[in-house]
Structure 1
């Protein structure tokens, strides 16, 4: 359950105000002045907590909940106990996310581990760096020559910002991160241990072995991108690696050199994207998927987890498997293999 040491409750919000913030309708009869100050699952919620219900398997939990209010779809309103308020919406998850941001704004983006603001005297900031007002640079961070950092940005403890990098406003660079050869936009979040701008993996095979290919491109990360802990984004070889605005990348993802990722994509943990692949806008890629280099995944495509994508994927397609193919075709193959396996296990007539 949420721990007040890490995310203390505030004064709370009245249900009427919260309904307006999240775009939901407060059910008739609920007290619009009643306040909620916390978030909790149905089974643990108390008299000042907000919860949600969007799966029928938890109907018993909903019937017994002590939550002050529950976010539900209209079709499930009849299941809400009489003593519990309800916020009705067509998109429960989005409404609950918005409510969480309103109740716990400090949990939206990383904060300074030290709790301090401004430039730590134990940070190493080069005299040619341009630091706007309101920037926090924590202890043992290194800011290289000719770096520019916009106002309200946080550079966490032990982070390294290499020479010439640009970081926009209200961004968060997590502890222990390393950023080189990169231009980073506004409101970008890099979680701890992210690596941006290191060499891509490029070698030319010859009679004397592997000769290193120089990587002289950049990484460009547009506004509102979030990148999870220990993810690596290689700089381009002779063009740029680009991550489009609003894209969200999970922990431990590998993004190779020259990769182009569009806007508002979702890339789950342990995905590997090989060099020079192009990912369109709004693409969703499931965890532990491998994407070959020099291919294109079209806008709005969805790739199932643990897939291997070896060729171009059309816009709007849903693919999965190894090698990845259209989901319906993949499911037919799985069904056929299952049926063949069952037949092979069945007793032979001679054994009967």
Structure 2
């Protein structure tokens, strides 16, 4: 495994400590003092690294691994090579994620781009802005009039915190991100290029063309939200756009004005949510899915990737397709379409003969 140039080793952790912090069972206590210094995929891991095996499909790779430790289920423990510590758990991937975070804590969020401490002389901070202790403002960042930034937060180079914005404690606004017309909670991470609070898309046909609808609402982002690079979240028109606590949003997502996203949702890359949609709590939306405006997606619902949602989705439902419908119906329809297409191809091939 090549050296991790951008995330160098910070510490080593004994296997026994990894077991304790993740809740995994160490199959051979005699290996508890084995030192772990890094992570790697199952097929490329070497001595000193920890890896994981998800299912029986990984059995061949598991039996050949050179890792010092591996998270796996009890059923797969028989395939773990002699001398490799088996960390037994029904949730190998989750445990591996905890271990990786402990080994590489600086990789959990965008890191600083400079060695700046406090407010850089090359940043622009309005004299009416209020910054608590231990705030870092890197070069070329801008903090507008009346903005408030909580203790321990960091504003990256070229980032903008607009006038009147409130940013909570221990937040990261990464390089070139822009936050306007927003109230942001604690422990929020905004990756590079994020755009929060820009004008929503609102027009109405008039006698001389399209007339603009004013957008005078806010964006409210609750605690522990993470928003991926180049995602855009429009401010409300006359209401607020809201992102609920603990929600994780991938790169390149578009969320329109007045949208309300609940708590602990997962929204994957290239999703588009049109204005005034209401997304419940713990909703999962797959990549490139599209949600029409003014509809509701109930708590716990799952939307498959590439779906087009054009009607309300009940709580707990699993929908997919275009237009999106219950997953069973979507899979049945897809199977019928494939069968008909395959049948036509077979008949055409026979005709060619």
Partner of 2:93: 93
Q: Contact 1:50–1:67 at 8 Å: present in 2 too?
A: yes
Mapped partners of 1:264, 1:136: distance in 2: 28
How much does 1:76 deviate? 1.1
3-state SS of paired residue (1:276): coil
- Of the structure 1 ranges 92-101 and 51-60, higher mean CA displacement relative to structure 2 is found in 51-60
Q: Contact 1:272–1:291 at 8 Å: present in 2 too?
A: yes
Matches within 5 A, 1:284-299: 284-299=284-299
* Unaligned residue ranges in structure 1 (runs of 5+): none
Partner of 2:300: 300
Matches within 5 A, 1:277-288: 277-288=277-288
Give the TM-score normalised by structure 2: 0.97
Work out whether 1:113 is the aligned partner of 2:99.
no
Q: Contact 1:124–1:142 at 8 Å: present in 2 too?
A: yes
Partner of 1:207: 207
Q: Contact 2:152–2:171 at 8 Å: present in 1 too?
A: yes
Distance 1:279 1:30, change over 3 A: farther
Partner of 1:37: 37
Q: Contact 2:222–2:243 at 8 Å: present in 1 too?
A: yes
Work out whether 1:323 is the aligned partner of 2:327.
no
Mapped partners of 2:228, 2:2: distance in 1: 21
Q: Contact 1:321–1:330 at 8 Å: present in 2 too?
A: yes
How much does 1:4 deviate? 2.8
Q: Contact 1:198–1:235 at 8 Å: present in 2 too?
A: yes
Q: Contact 1:30–1:85 at 8 Å: present in 2 too?
A: no
Mapped partners of 1:118, 1:3: distance in 2: 32
* Unaligned residue ranges in structure 2 (runs of 5+): none
How much does 1:342 deviate? 2.6
Mapped partners of 2:332, 2:30: distance in 1: 49
Mapped partners of 1:332, 1:85: distance in 2: 45
Matches within 5 A, 1:1-352: 3-347=3-347
Mapped partners of 1:227, 1:30: distance in 2: 43
Mapped partners of 1:190, 1:274: distance in 2: 21
Give the TM-score normalised by structure 1: 0.97
Q: Contact 2:129–2:147 at 8 Å: present in 1 too?
A: yes
3-state SS of paired residue (2:319): strand
Q: Contact 1:249–1:267 at 8 Å: present in 2 too?
A: yes
How much does 1:22 deviate? 1.1
3-state SS of paired residue (1:347): helix
Q: Contact 1:146–1:164 at 8 Å: present in 2 too?
A: yes
Distance 1:3 1:294, change over 3 A: farther
Q: Contact 2:116–2:137 at 8 Å: present in 1 too?
A: no
> What is the alpha-carbon root mean square deviation over aligned residues?
1.4
How much does 1:3 deviate? 4.1
Tell me which stretches of 4 or more aligned residues in structure 1 moved more than 6 Å. none
Q: Contact 1:111–1:154 at 8 Å: present in 2 too?
A: no
